[in-house]
Structure 1
Amino acid sequence: MEKPAEFSVRSAAESPDVQLVGDWTASSLGDAPARLAAALRGQSDLAIDIREVRRLDTAGAYGLIRAIGAGFDPAQVKGRPESLRLLQLVAAAVHAAPVAPVVSKGFRELTVRIGKGVMNLGHEFLDTMAFLGHLLVAAARSSVFLVTNPRRIRWAAIFSLAERAGLDAIPIVAVTSFFIGAVVGLLGANMLRQFGAEVFAVELIGIAVLREFNIIITAILLAGRSASSFAAELGSMKMNQEIDAMKVMGVDPFEALVLPRFIALLATIPLLTFVATLAGLFGGMIVVWTVLDLGPAFFLQRIVDNVGATHFWIGMSKAPVMAAVIAGIGCRQGLEVGGDVESLGRRVTAAVVHAIFAIIMIDAAFALLYMHLNI
């Protein structure tokens, strides 16, 4: 049970003696420092005894120092070694002169920011390589378990994540792709009508949807849904020290948390891309039917004859790469969360931004590759 902070002052001919008793802590301090300051007003050369103090924290030490004032001298205090050390630390902090921050301006500030950016980029690259290596080790270990001990694989987590991150996204992917296909068809019909080539809007819709927009729309929507979700989930677990507890129990977080998210996204993104393809073609077909009066049979026949399946497989070939990038960025940003909510917000935002940027860059790289291969 805590005892309130109290003191007694005994005046002598030479100097007053101050004896402190009780608990000089934040919860039991009360108005003791103010009463002590009033009792010692105008006094100097004080002898202070804190040996009877049961507990002393920084709040109590600061209250004692403020009550005594500028004449406080740790050498005149009698107490236990740990109490004296605490008083010395608090007194040094109280009397420390504030250090004015150095504000760099002009060209020097520019070079400092560039240098920090380069260093951060290097650290990000090293952390990404470490994350990739750990993930590959976990994947190889799980591949062995798939043959030797299939029950070791976390099938429940994989199916649950596949439903939540993939199948639940079918409505939004279908609706978005439908309107994208409709917009492409409307723009193509209006532009090609000037040249009397409205019929080629079918080929424009087919190539655009089958080759690019199906996977791009799917990947961007998954970057907003799944990458942010993965980062938030793993980040909250990191903040609550659940991941540290898993490591203490001998459970690899990559095997238990990261790998199921990779497998779930790799399994579901081809299905979502196929749904986006059908919805985009349907949207374009509706526009061609209503604006150009070209029926669905004519639309589908021109898609089969003039577009073909090559463009569809080109779009589908990008799906596994997009899934790996989205899952990797989301999980990595989640594992980098610190101990505060601000860090969680920054990492979730970074997961979405980095994933969308990586999607655009990867699609551009695929476009250059297929152009070089003349596909």
Structure 2
Amino acid sequence: MTAAADFTLDRAGGGSVMRFTGDLSLPKLGDLPKRLERQGDDVAVIDLSGVDRIDTIGAWVIHRFARERDARIEGLSGDGQNLLEQVQAADQPVQMRPHSTSAFRRVLGEVGEATAHSARTALGLLAFMGETIIAFWGVMRHPRRFRFNATVQRFEVVGVSALGIIGLMSFLIGVVIAQQGAVQLRQFGAEAFTINLVGRITLRELGVLMTAIMVAGRSGSAFAAQLGTMKLTEEIDAMRTIGVSPMEALVLPRTIAAVVLMPLLGFYASILSIIGGGLLCWFALDIPPVAFIARIREVVPITDLYVGLIKAPVFGAIIAVAGCFQGMQVKGDAEQVGLKTTSAVVQAIFMVIVIDAFFAVFFEQIGWI
């Protein structure tokens, strides 16, 4: 059994040498710290060659005593010396309160950080989209690597399971558009043009756009949460270890499902919006369904349908890539899953609206208006 910590003081002409013996660990320190406080300031050297054992608390007591008296520590080696060096390195001043800065500099700094973060995210998203395209090309060259069952399962999650909520939302949007349009057009005695409003805006814009927003909130968030959880549990690292590409096994089925099903969901949403608007026109404006359908066929050009069907797969690709990208960025703890899921939804909706604006300008330039 080791002896309790103790010390002796050898006085010499050039300064005293304090020699420690015994066990410099918490259970054996006793009143050693109080006795050290009563010592003078003429200690030049602290000799630890007689110490049997030292822990973090003992190393801190010795370091603090040596720092206060500007003494030199000798006699330790091996693990004890490493421990003392780590304690010395950790003895740094801690700033309890941040320096106060002006509001302008603080706002400017936050804007700069947000801009830099957005640039890094955009670059990472572009690189991730490139990796997805490369994975798709690899599967095209080697069709046996295509995961059919996983893709069909994503079809069900992204498409079939979403039919109810997307259909209800689209139907109610059609009713609201028809009701609000009829109220405004009634002032000019042009209630019949409500049919034009419902038909064109749902097929061209709102049908696909609202579907994309709903899919981003429903499926995009699910992609990010699923991949983020797999990243935390190291399942993705395990897949790489056994030679399975996460891009081909996880990202590609989700992307294909979103790209293929978005046009179908967009068309489905547009039809239900037109049905909702037609019922409102029937009950509120006394326009029978036969007349409503005939008017829709007259005033809605086929290019409006083409516009929606062209935009839909692009929106689906954006939603899937954003969700999978944010999910693959999860690291650290479970809180990151929630943060990256939120980022995936916000990022997908933002990019969908931006791309929709570009499409609007493009189709106007080529005459599809």
Q: TM-score, normalised by structure 2?
A: 0.85
3-state SS of paired residue (2:331): coil
Greater mean deviation of Cα atoms: 61-70 or 233-242: 61-70
Query: Is 1:128 the equivalent of 2:122?
Result: no
Q: Do the aligned partners of residues 368 and 85 (structure 1) sit closer, same or farther apart at CA in structure 2, a change above 3 Å counting? A: same
Q: Do the aligned partners of residues 12 and 184 (structure 1) sit closer, same or farther apart at CA in structure 2, a change above 3 Å counting? A: closer
CA contact (8 A) 2:33 2:61 kept: no
Q: Which runs of 5+ in 2 are unaligned?
A: 12-16
Query: Is 1:18 the equivalent of 2:14?
Result: no
Q: Which runs of 5+ in 1 are unaligned?
A: none
Map of 1:194 onto structure 2: 187
| Matched ranges for 1:96-107 at <5 A | 96-98=92-94, 104-105=101-102
CA contact (8 A) 1:9 1:16 kept: no
CA contact (8 A) 1:65 1:91 kept: yes
In 1, Cα distance between equivalents of 2:277 and 2:338: 39
Q: Do the aligned partners of residues 115 and 307 (structure 1) sit closer, same or farther apart at CA in structure 2, a change above 3 Å counting? A: closer
3-state SS of paired residue (1:131): helix
In 1, Cα distance between equivalents of 2:30 and 2:168: 69
| Matched ranges for 1:184-333 at <5 A | 184-333=177-326
Q: Do the aligned partners of residues 193 and 115 (structure 1) sit closer, same or farther apart at CA in structure 2, a change above 3 Å counting? A: closer
Letter in 2 for 1:75: I
In 2, Cα distance between equivalents of 1:209 and 1:304: 14
Q: CA deviation at 1:289?
A: 1.1
Map of 2:140 onto structure 1: 143
In 1, Cα distance between equivalents of 2:30 and 2:230: 45
CA contact (8 A) 1:40 1:68 kept: no
Greater mean deviation of Cα atoms: 261-270 or 99-108: 99-108
Q: How many residues align?
A: 358
Q: CA deviation at 1:317?
A: 1.5
Letter in 2 for 1:52: D
In 1, Cα distance between equivalents of 2:60 and 2:364: 72
Greater mean deviation of Cα atoms: 167-176 or 190-199: 190-199
Over aligned residue pairs, what C-alpha RMSD do you find?
3.0
Letter in 2 for 1:37: P
Q: CA deviation at 1:184?
A: 0.6
In 2, Cα distance between equivalents of 1:67 and 1:279: 80
In 1, Cα distance between equivalents of 2:3 and 2:274: 83
In 1, Cα distance between equivalents of 2:10 and 2:72: 22
**Percent identical residues:** 35
Q: CA deviation at 1:124?
A: 3.0
In 1, Cα distance between equivalents of 2:207 and 2:234: 39
3-state SS of paired residue (2:6): strand
CA contact (8 A) 1:223 1:355 kept: yes
Map of 1:62 onto structure 2: 60
CA contact (8 A) 1:74 1:88 kept: no
Greater mean deviation of Cα atoms: 332-341 or 200-209: 332-341
CA contact (8 A) 1:34 1:67 kept: no
In 2, Cα distance between equivalents of 1:67 and 1:154: 67
Q: CA deviation at 1:20?
A: 4.1
In 2, Cα distance between equivalents of 1:234 and 1:62: 44
In 1, Cα distance between equivalents of 2:50 and 2:123: 53
| Matched ranges for 1:68-83 at <5 A | 70-71=68-69, 73=71, 75-76=73-74, 78-83=75-80
CA contact (8 A) 1:65 1:72 kept: no
Q: Do the aligned partners of residues 186 and 115 (structure 1) sit closer, same or farther apart at CA in structure 2, a change above 3 Å counting? A: closer
In 2, Cα distance between equivalents of 1:214 and 1:309: 15
Letter in 1 for 2:88: A
In 1, Cα distance between equivalents of 2:116 and 2:49: 53
3-state SS of paired residue (2:73): helix
In 1, Cα distance between equivalents of 2:146 and 2:81: 57
3-state SS of paired residue (1:318): helix
Q: CA deviation at 1:234?
A: 1.8
In 2, Cα distance between equivalents of 1:34 and 1:287: 87
Q: TM-score, normalised by structure 1?
A: 0.83
Query: Is 1:372 the equivalent of 2:362?
Result: no
| Matched ranges for 1:155-166 at <5 A | 155-166=148-159
1:336 to 317, 322, 329: 329
CA contact (8 A) 1:231 1:334 kept: yes
| Matched ranges for 1:112-123 at <5 A | 112-113=109-110, 115-123=112-120
Q: Do the aligned partners of residues 265 and 68 (structure 1) sit closer, same or farther apart at CA in structure 2, a change above 3 Å counting? A: same
Q: CA deviation at 1:108?
A: 5.4
Q: CA deviation at 1:50?
A: 6.8
Q: Do the aligned partners of residues 114 and 184 (structure 1) sit closer, same or farther apart at CA in structure 2, a change above 3 Å counting? A: closer
In 2, Cα distance between equivalents of 1:246 and 1:296: 56
Greater mean deviation of Cα atoms: 245-254 or 61-70: 61-70
Q: Do the aligned partners of residues 12 and 115 (structure 1) sit closer, same or farther apart at CA in structure 2, a change above 3 Å counting? A: closer
Letter in 2 for 1:61: A
3-state SS of paired residue (1:142): helix
Per-residue CA distance 1:70-112 (angstroms, 9 max, x = gap): 3484624x33233213213312432x34468555536655665
Map of 2:33 onto structure 1: 37
CA contact (8 A) 1:33 1:66 kept: no
